[in-house]
């Protein structure tokens, strides 16, 4: 069976970031990408329309919206309000689902496809087609779906034939991506059968699984989870009935603004910060404090105030916070002494192999970085050089990290990959300018 979409040419654009002495002002935390993906998936499976306030409307989430539309959902979007009206039943679309560059989108839609009547084809960007899917494919096949690889075993594009009796007992690795587990937790309550999921340890990114369970519970569905998140009992024939949901601010996006303040010894305020909902990346506050950054938390106003200072190396466990590694690596480059980021082997399966790309790109700037099996060792405190050939490798978080790294470099830096940042933080460049960063955008000829 042949499938997939022809690759579309990507317009590569680059940016020049100039060294900046001091930043000042305030930034509004963008809406959470992780929460938006999850509530849209719940909305697709819901018995009623769901109003989503303050959703992130950016590249990755737009891919999820497009896929939900192909499954029959309707959307009304106005300002900061999105309403999703679910279809009466799930039927495999005739068109191929294109998840673009979004791993969350394709993984969540795989389990939706396993519930749908008919065969759904799924694909994505060349970058996405390098990301592993085998663990989720094997789990869905054991539950009664029929998943086929259309080109290369273990990777998209895929064809998935659904069943109304999806269920039974399955197991899945917890070491590659928590998105596999969240995908099953979101979809299986809508099956006609009960399910049991066993997670093979180690279980990485546990807070993201807790986030999924929190949203599922708020939406009227019950899942029994063991305390260690290694076993789940999911009753079938349940109903999502949430009517409205407010998307909190995104801690992983905030991390780059915090890092910018830290390395420039600036004071910045971040507003629209959520202190209530589950978010793994809230740990950025604890991690930066370890490295000498002063951060004030105002729970009542939902604000953070960060004061950069003398930075020092630290040993940081990143097993539950893979999206923080790019920002932490940049801070480590400017911190005196050695920083060890560990527990992060699963970061190799993100939009890029982040351990490799961070090592390669920071090394171009003269930073001493060693990659090992589970993470990075960075010796900071030396001169960080400017570079005219930095590359985001198609990864929005690498691009944003390099922009921040350039703020205290000895010379301006040119970074390829400007087209990536809107995947998660569409106001990133605008926000940098608002706090005093000087940069120029350029589109490659042709």
pLDDT tens-digit series, residues 340-394: 999 988 888 788 899 999 999 999 999 999 999 999 999 998 999 999 999 999 9
* Statement: residue 11 has pLDDT above 60: no
Same domain, 373 and 264: yes
* Helices marked H in 143-229: 178-187, 206-218
4 in a structural domain: no
Share of the chain above pLDDT 70, in %: 97
Work out how many domains the chain is built from and give that number.
Answer: 2
Q: Is the pTM of this model over 0.85?
A: yes
Band (12; pLDDT cuts 50, 70, 90): low
Q: What is the pLDDT of residue 344?
A: 87
Are 360 and 330 in a shared domain?
yes
Contacts 24+ apart (CB under 8 A), 4-12: 4/96, 4/121, 4/123, 4/129, 4/150, 4/151, 4/156, 4/157, 5/96, 5/98, 5/123, 5/157, 7/125, 7/126, 10/419, 11/419, 11/443, 11/444, 12/416, 12/417, 12/419, 12/444
Q: What kind and span of H or E run contains 264?
A: helix 251-264
Q: Which helix (H) or strand (E) holds 225?
A: strand 223-225
Residue of 250, 323, 395, 431 with catalytic role: 323
Mean pLDDT over 189-199 rounds to 97
Contact predicate 60/105, CB 8 Å: yes
98 is catalytic: no
Q: What pLDDT score was predicted for residue 351?
A: 81
The number of angstroms, rounded, from the C-alpha of 77 to the middle of its chain's C-alpha atoms is 22
Query: What mean pLDDT comes out for the span 21-44?
Result: 96
What value does the mean pLDDT take over residues 57-78? Answer: 96
Mean pLDDT throughout 61-85? 97
Q: Higher model confidence: residue 13 or residue 109?
A: 109
Instruction: Among 246, 276, 303, identify where a domain stops.
Output: 246
pLDDT mean across residues, the chain: 94
Cis bond before residue 202 (omega within 30° of 0):
yes
Indicate whether 446 pLDDT > 50: no
Q: For residue 241, what are the domain limits?
A: 33-246
26 shares its domain with 43: no
* 247-258 tens-digit pLDDT: 999 999 999 999
CATH of the domain at 345: 3.65.10.10
- Asked if the model's pLDDT at residue 3 lies above 50, the reply is no
Round to whole Å and give the CA distance between 174 and 321: 14
Are 108 and 120 in a shared domain? yes
Whether 107 and 156 share a structural domain = yes
């Amino acid at each position: 069976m042949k499938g997939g979409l022809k690759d579309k040419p990507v317009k590569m654009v680059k940016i020049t970031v100039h060294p900046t002495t001091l930043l000042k002002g305030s930034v509004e935390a963008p809406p959470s990408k992780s929460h938006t993906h999850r509530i849209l998936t719940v909305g697709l499976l819901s018995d009623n329309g769901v109003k989503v306030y303050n959703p992130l409307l950016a590249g990755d989430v737009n891919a999820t919206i497009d896929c939900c539309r192909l499954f029959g959902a309707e959307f009304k979007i106005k300002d900061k309000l999105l309403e999703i009206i679910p279809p009466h039943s799930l039927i495999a679309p005739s068109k191929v689902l294109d998840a673009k560059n979004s791993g969350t989108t394709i993984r969540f839609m795989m389990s939706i496809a396993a519930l749908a009547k008919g065969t759904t084809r799924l694909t994505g960007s060349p970058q996405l087609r390098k990301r592993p899917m085998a663990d989720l494919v094997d789990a869905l096949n054991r539950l009664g779906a029929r998943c086929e690889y259309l080109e290369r075993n273990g990777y998209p594009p895929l064809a998935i034939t659904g069943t109304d009796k999806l269920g039974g007992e399955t197991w899945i690795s917890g070491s590659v991506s928590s998105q596999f587990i969240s995908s099953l937790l979101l979809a299986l309550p809508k099956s006609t059968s009960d399910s049991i999921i066993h997670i093979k340890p180690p279980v990485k990114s546990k807070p993201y699984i807790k986030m999924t369970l929190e949203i599922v519970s708020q939406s009227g569905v019950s899942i029994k989870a063991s305390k260690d998140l290694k076993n789940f009992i999911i009753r079938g024939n349940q109903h999502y009935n949430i009517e409205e949901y407010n998307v909190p601010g995104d801690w992983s996006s905030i991390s780059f603004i915090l890092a910018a303040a830290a390395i420039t010894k600036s004071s910045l305020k971040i507003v629209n910060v959520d202190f209530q909902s589950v978010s793994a990346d809230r740990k950025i506050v604890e991690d930066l404090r370890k490295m000498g950054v002063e951060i004030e938390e105002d729970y009542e106003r939902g604000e953070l105030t960060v004061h950069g200072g003398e930075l020092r190396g630290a040993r940081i466990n990143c097993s539950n916070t893979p999206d923080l590694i790019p920002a932490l690596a940049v801070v480590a480059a400017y911190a005196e002494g050695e920083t060890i980021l560990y527990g992060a082997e699963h970061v190799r399966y993100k939009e890029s192999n982040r351990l490799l790309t961070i090592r390669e790109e920071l090394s171009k700037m003269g930073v001493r970085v060693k990659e090992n099996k589970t993470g990075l060792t960075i010796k900071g405190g030396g001169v960080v050089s400017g570079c005219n050939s930095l590359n985001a490798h198609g990864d929005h978080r690498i691009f944003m990290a390099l922009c921040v790294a350039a703020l205290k470099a000895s010379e301006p830096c040119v970074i390829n990959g400007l087209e990536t940042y809107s995947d998660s933080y569409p106001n990133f460049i605008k926000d940098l300018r608002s706090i005093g960063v000087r940069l120029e955008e350029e589109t490659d000829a042709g």
